[in-house]
A and B are shown apart, each in its own frame.
Chain A
Amino acid sequence: MKRIFLIIIILIALIPFALSAITVEEIINRMDAAETFSTSFSRGEILSTDRFGQKTSTFNAWARGADESLIEFTSVAERGQKVLRTKGEIYLFYPDAQELIRLQGAALRQSLLGSDISYEDMTGEKNTLAQYTATIEGQESIGGRFCHIITMVAKSRTVAYPVQKIWVDMETFMVWKAQYSTQNGRLLKEMEVLGTMEVDGRILPSRTAVSDKLKKDSKTIMVLTEMQIDPPLDPSIFSLQNLTW
């Protein structure tokens, strides 16, 4: 009996090691897969806090695959404003502007509605391994969940952050925490998942905190109040022609 008990304890203790046997490439691929849906619709709000106080913006968002997404803001101050991401390009639609604004270059670093999230944060491809070289640094428990700690170093200068350190759930492959830094280790931004929700059997972040470390007293919490996975979507909603409806 004692021997069986000992074997069970050893087996439990070895679980993390057994799980870590997975390669870093596999982890990253499964992480990308966990974040990508054929289509999705979400509703949520962005709570931005800065030195002047807190503001709330609400939005509806549609996404198709890894490359296309559309966000429409529904809060009074921004009602009707839309952000379209299609094939690495970002376009802004403002109801009172007669033309679409294409963001490029330094403009991508601008903040989305004064939050800690930049337009650049929305441009990253979901093929992480094509952009970064990843290495496993170890394991750590975040909020009671075992996570791989992975450091990713950019292969080129085209990405928003040269170095990323991420904490990936060993079971769900959801990213619980991320630190974005410069090449020489200066922390630029931090992301942490504060809450999750289950949608169609998948665990997804429902409450995420983002903090731009270059801004003082600044923090943004993105809350998803509704999430639909694989809803039927008209592909034309991601077209420039349709952006102005």
Chain B
Amino acid sequence: MKMKLTRVAFRNLSRNLRRSILSGSAIAVSALSIVMLFGLIMGMRDDMAQNLKMFYSGEISIRHAQYEEFERYNPIHLTVDWKAVEPVLQQNPALEAIVPRINFPASLYINGGNHPVLGVGADFEREKSLIDLTAIVRQGRIPSLGANEMLIGATLARDLNLKLGDSVTMLSTTAARGSNAITWKVVGLAVFPLSALNAKYVWVPIDRAQYFLRMGTDVQDILMMVKSGYDEKALAVEIQAEIQQATGTLTDVQTWKQLNDFYSLLEVAQYLYYLIGIFFFLLGSTVIINTTMMVIYERMREIGTLSALGMQGSELTRLFFLEGAIVSAIGAAVGVACGMLITWYLSKAGLDFTDAMSGIDIEISSVLYPKLNLWTALFVYVYAVVVSSTATLIPSRRAARIEPVEALRYI
């Protein structure tokens, strides 16, 4: 009987192919949108995670214990003793790479005016374990250790009309809570994946930053990359204890996820998108519901005849449900397939948001690469079929409630 019902359902669908295609298209468009949306969200999430680790905090960040508390006051004097902490970290078996950094607000003095920038003191040799510097430096070269040389974001250089070989004086507050100025030579123009880094940041050798900011051999932040298989959160606690035991000083050791609220928000948002997905499919299902209801009215005479011949109400429900489920399954399959195809293409070509994101201080790259995930696609397919098929139950059950006498009136 079930086989027969399936055959009847297919036959009924092919009776009005255009209407069936329309119903399926609604599900297909919903599935396509959700696959692409999930691909974009996953791409954004992965991109943000990578950027946060590379440019901001590493996988584990080690700072002065009070730094975060006073961050808004630019506490450049709250430093970490690099020479004392580095040997402690080198002994940790989880260590993959460590990079010392100094982040400091400064201003560039150009033609009598001060232009705010964010400076980064970096050990460029060590940075190679974190950042692909050769890809980032578009013109010129990386600054040399011991030289007053500067790598500047391309957008910032353009805005300030600075070119390779130009000299520029930078002012900042020192760790002695005084001020200092030093003249740097622009030796490299960088194009970072983040628009904020291009528009605001200048990178200088760490030893010159230490001299400029009167920090001795201290640094402001130590970025640590961890070998795979380690729990970053547990490791952060362990490292904090190790540093305290070895140096007697309390540091603030946090994972990149703990430091970045926006990333956590993005993870929560992912669950929100699942909910949004339900609404998408319900919206798509309204077309199926509507079509099925129209079909029921159109085939009232047929329903009456089938009922008079002894077909049970539950069988009628199943017949219409099957029709809806078949449309949903085919529509979702087409939608997911198209969504996967487009996402795959965009994951190679990328989506360029450079103009839209200029001036926006967010840790997501200007060119986004959506991420294609087969499991997500499968999940969306099952999700689409279940939600849409369930929705068709509403009109299908109506068919079961039609009395044969009532239906036969339409003859």
Interface residues of A (CB under 8 A from B): 48, 50-52, 55, 57, 73, 77-78, 81, 92, 94, 96-99, 101-102, 104, 107, 110, 113-114
Tell me, rounded to whole Å, the shortest Cβ–Cβ distance linking B224 to chain A. Answer: 27
Beta-carbon contact of A96 and B182 below 8 Å: yes
Chain A residues with Cβ below 8 Å from B171 are 101
Chain B residues with Cβ below 8 Å from A113 are 177-179
Q: How many residues of B contact A (CB 8 A)?
A: 23
Beta-carbon contact of B176 and A55 below 8 Å: yes
Beta-carbon contact of A77 and B182 below 8 Å: no
Q: Contacts A101-B109, A101-B171 given: A55-B177 contact, CB under 8 Å?
A: yes
Apart from A99-B169, A110-B179: 13 A-B pairs, beta carbons within 8 A = A55-B176, A57-B178, A77-B214, A78-B176, A94-B181, A96-B148, A96-B180, A97-B169, A98-B167, A101-B169, A101-B171, A102-B112, A114-B173
Docked complex Cα distance between A50 and B109 (Å):
27
Interface residues of B (CB under 8 A from A): 70, 73, 75, 77, 109, 112, 114, 148, 167, 169, 171, 173-174, 176-183, 212, 214
Beta-carbon contact of A52 and B77 below 8 Å: yes
Beta-carbon contact of B182 and A114 below 8 Å: no
Chain A residues with Cβ below 8 Å from B174 are 77
Beta-carbon contact of B182 and A94 below 8 Å: yes
Q: Contacts A77-B174, A77-B214 given: A107-B114 contact, CB under 8 Å?
A: yes
Interface CB pairs A-B, < 8 A, 14: A51-B73, A55-B177, A73-B178, A78-B178, A96-B180, A96-B182, A97-B181, A98-B169, A99-B109, A101-B169, A110-B179, A113-B177, A113-B178, A114-B178
Beta-carbon contact of B176 and A77 below 8 Å: yes
Tell me, rounded to whole Å, the shortest Cβ–Cβ distance linking B77 to chain A. Answer: 7
Chain B residues with Cβ below 8 Å from A98 are 167, 169, 183
Beta-carbon contact of B181 and A48 below 8 Å: no
Beta-carbon contact of A104 and B112 below 8 Å: yes
Q: Which of B174, B177, B182 has the most CB of A within 10 A?
A: B177
Docked complex Cα distance between A98 and B170 (Å):
10
Docked complex Cα distance between A97 and B181 (Å):
6
Chain B residues with Cβ below 8 Å from A57 are 178
* Chain B residue at smallest Cβ distance from A93: B181
Beta-carbon contact of B177 and A50 below 8 Å: yes
* Chain B residue at smallest Cβ distance from A94: B181
* Chain A residue at smallest Cβ distance from B169: A97
Beta-carbon contact of B183 and A97 below 8 Å: yes
Docked complex Cα distance between A78 and B179 (Å):
8
Chain A residues with Cβ below 8 Å from B214 are 77
Chain A residues with Cβ below 8 Å from B183 are 96-99
Docked complex Cα distance between A113 and B178 (Å):
4
Tell me, rounded to whole Å, the shortest Cβ–Cβ distance linking A121 to chain B. Answer: 16
The 10 tightest CB contacts between A and B, nearest first, are A77-B176, A94-B181, A114-B177, A98-B183, A97-B181, A96-B182, A113-B178, A97-B169, A78-B178, A97-B183
Docked complex Cα distance between A57 and B179 (Å):
12
Chain B residues with Cβ below 8 Å from A50 are 177
